[in-house]
């Protein structure tokens, strides 16, 4: 059961309307790293989670992300207040109204005209929110790592948004939201490492013949470090196909009937390497038969 409290989780103080900034903040409203994506990611994970501790954690953070969505939406709405009235009531001449929507290098005309200066579920480029942003795989040791990465990406976006505004009240609210991304990362990290072992993900251990092998597949000056040397790493300087010792070809066993059909198809579609027909490209270049 959800119960909405009419007060925000954090106080929003916007110094003055700014449609361009409002458009940028939509990145955290309906963008891939935004609050709706986070809420839906954790909510859907919580519904199917069997561990009571992780289930509670995911529901709590999913609900908080919805409150963050409300904070961002409220900031966007406040930033659009002036433009919303001007656009709806046409209090300016057409040319002045157009300049106010597209001036100062912002693209807010998309959200102003299409969405009436509201809070659409789009990113800052006007792309609608998509459930494709949710990459849950249904394995907690994989999903928790993905959640940690998602919170990290959201923190970086908040940092960038803080850097593009001089409004002290907005900086303060965005700083709170950025800090909560850090708190969520810490919770997900603890939940991940409460599962022991948690690597490799899933149940199957992997083939030990290849699990600690580093193939040097980029030619040039090689950089070495703990990602490819020391410990149990085996560094293969010049890997050759096939690394399993086979001949590196692809084969399949088919029925005799399939063999006959495949041979007939190969014969019908075979290329003639001796042919050199005049093509459209030749004609376009001024070449004709026998030229």
> Where is the binding site for Mn(2+), in residues?
35, 65, 68, 151, 184
> Any bridge partners for residue 214, and if so which?
235
Annotated binding site for Ca(2+): 56, 60, 216, 218, 220
Annotated binding site: 35, 56, 60, 65, 68, 151, 184, 216, 218, 220
Spatial contact of 15 and 169, defined as CB atoms under 8 Å apart = yes
> Among positive and negative, which fits the CA dihedral 193, 196, 198, 199?
positive
Helix axes 140-163, 168-193, angle to 10 degrees: 160
Closest CA to 182 of 143, 145, 146, 156: 156
Query: For residues 225 and 236, what is the distance between their CA atoms, to the nearest angstrom?
Result: 14
> Any bridge partners for residue 236, and if so which?
215
């Amino acid at each position: 059961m959800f119960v909405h409290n009419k007060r925000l989780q954090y106080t929003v103080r916007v110094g003055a309307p700014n449609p361009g900034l409002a458009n940028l903040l939509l990145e955290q409203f309906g963008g891939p790293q935004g609050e709706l994506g986070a809420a839906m990611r954790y909510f859907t994970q919580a519904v199917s989670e069997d561990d009571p501790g992780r289930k509670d954690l995911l529901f709590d953070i999913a609900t908080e992300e919805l409150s963050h969505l409300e904070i961002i939406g409220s900031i966007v709405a406040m930033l659009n207040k002036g433009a919303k009235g001007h656009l709806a009531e046409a209090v300016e001449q057409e040319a002045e109204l157009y300049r106010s929507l597209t001036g100062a290098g912002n693209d807010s005309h998309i959200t102003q005209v299409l969405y009436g200066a509201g809070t659409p579920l789009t990113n800052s480029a006007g792309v609608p929110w998509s459930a494709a942003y949710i990459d849950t795989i249904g394995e907690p040791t994989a999903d928790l790592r993905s959640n940690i990465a998602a919170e990290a990406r959201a923190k970086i976006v908040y940092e960038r948004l803080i850097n593009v505004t001089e409004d002290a009240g907005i900086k303060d609210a965005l700083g709170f939201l950025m800090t909560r991304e850090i708190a969520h990362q810490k919770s997900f990290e603890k939940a991940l490492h409460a599962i022991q072992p948690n690597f490799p993900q899933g149940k199957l251990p992997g083939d030990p013949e290849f699990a600690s092998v580093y193939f040097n597949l980029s030619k040039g000056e090689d950089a070495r470090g703990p990602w490819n040397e020391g410990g149990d790493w085996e560094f293969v300087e010049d890997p050759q196909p096939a690394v399993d010792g086979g001949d590196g070809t692809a084969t399949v066993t088919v029925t005799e009937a399939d063999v006959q059909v495949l041979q007939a198809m190969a014969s019908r579609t075979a290329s003639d390497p001796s042919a050199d027909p005049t093509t459209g490209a030749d004609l376009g270049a001024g070449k004709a038969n026998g030229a």
